[in-house]
Amino acid sequence: MTGQQPSELLAIYLSRRDALARFLAARLSSKEEAEDVLQELFLRLSRTAPPDDVRDSAAYLFRMAMNMARDYRRERQRAHTREADWADSRNTLAGAELLEDSPSAEAAYGAKQRLAAIRRALDELSPQCRRVFLLHKFEGLSHEEVASRAGISRSTVEKHMNTALKHLIARLGRD
């Protein structure tokens, strides 16, 4: 399907609204938040035209919904962190007015360590597995494109993706 008009996509949105709501409620574990995201999805659909290469319009809507739920979740986490930071800064303010330990230097060190750990975990993968994972994740190649680039089947690409993620999350994932 090519050259979708926003109005066609809106019609598909309306016919799938219940299924999308059910998906979002399961994803976010909250009916209210699911409604917020659905509303935002509707606004976005009415404002912007979809890309030309949408193969399956309904699947496209689910993917948009999932990405928006991810952003929503991240925003929720950030809000929590900000509140905690605010409480911290108030505590510091009550104490000495010294320019002491830099929290950002600590964070910088943490990020550097984390990057090094991720690279180490990647190096533990087989060379083909590592290459497949990097091509897909960081060079934006689809499973098919990675398959033809590496001269392997699509199912092997997916197997490598699975092995890589399992290994990385086992070594580095946060609970």
Q: What is the DSSP letter of 52?
A: T
Closest to other proteins by CB, 48 vs 67, is 67
Part in contact with other proteins (CB under 8 A); list of ranges 1-9, 35-43, 44-52, 87-95: 87-95
User: Please, are residues 28 and 74 in contact by the beta-carbon 8 Å criterion?
Assistant: no
The only residue of 3, 11, 44, 56 in contact with other proteins, by rule CB under 8 A:
56
Q: How far apart are CA 153 and CA 162, in angstroms?
A: 14
* Cβ-based burial of 42 (10 A; exposed 0-12, middle 13-18, buried ≥19): middle
Part in contact with other proteins (CB under 8 A); list of ranges 1-9, 32-40, 42-50, 161-169: 161-169
User: Please, are residues 45 and 8 in contact by the beta-carbon 8 Å criterion?
Assistant: no
Q: How far apart are CA 173 and CA 6, in angstroms?
A: 39
Q: Which two tokens stand for residue 111?
A: 């990020």
The only residue of 31, 48, 49, 74 in contact with other proteins, by rule CB under 8 A:
74
Part in contact with other proteins (CB under 8 A); list of ranges 2-10, 31-39, 40-48, 140-148: 140-148
User: Please, are residues 164 and 138 in contact by the beta-carbon 8 Å criterion?
Assistant: no
Binding site for other proteins (CB under 8 A): 16, 19, 22-23, 26-27, 29, 55-56, 58-59, 62-63, 66, 70, 73-74, 86, 89-90, 93, 97, 99-100, 102-105, 107-108, 111-112, 115, 118-119, 122, 134, 137-139, 142-144, 158, 161-162, 165-166, 168-169, 172-175
